[in-house]
Copies of this chain bind each other. A is one copy, B any other.
Amino acid sequence: MNYPIIVDVTLREGIADPEGATIERALPALGFTGVAHVRTGKTFRFGVEADSETDALGIAHSLAERLLSNPVIERAVARLEA
């Protein structure tokens, strides 16, 4: 069966996020106040052909760790797409 997967990659706590910081600095000039702690991340959506949900998530998790993220600075979470 084909399982739709989402991998969510976020920077670990304490790792600098220059893109988020730049967005945050730009907000007041655009009229947005009260928005803070902007953190950016990446998502990867794909289909995995597997025999079970568990197998599909296993493949997705391994893929996320090995190819889609840098485990030193990023955290990757794989889940089934709702």
Q: Which residues of A contact B (CB under 8 A)?
A: 8, 10, 20, 23-24, 26-27, 30, 32-50, 59, 62-63, 66-68
Within the complex, the shortest CB–CB distance from A21 to chain B, in Å, comes to 12
Name 24 interchain pairs, CB-CB below 8 A, sorted by A: A8-B43, A10-B45, A20-B44, A30-B66, A32-B67, A34-B49, A34-B50, A35-B46, A35-B47, A35-B48, A35-B49, A35-B63, A36-B47, A37-B46, A37-B47, A38-B44, A38-B46, A39-B45, A39-B46, A40-B43, A41-B44, A41-B45, A42-B42, A43-B43
A67 adjacent to B23 (CB under 8 Å)? yes
For the complex formed, measure the closest distance between the CB of A74 and the CB atoms of chain B, giving whole angstroms. Answer: 12
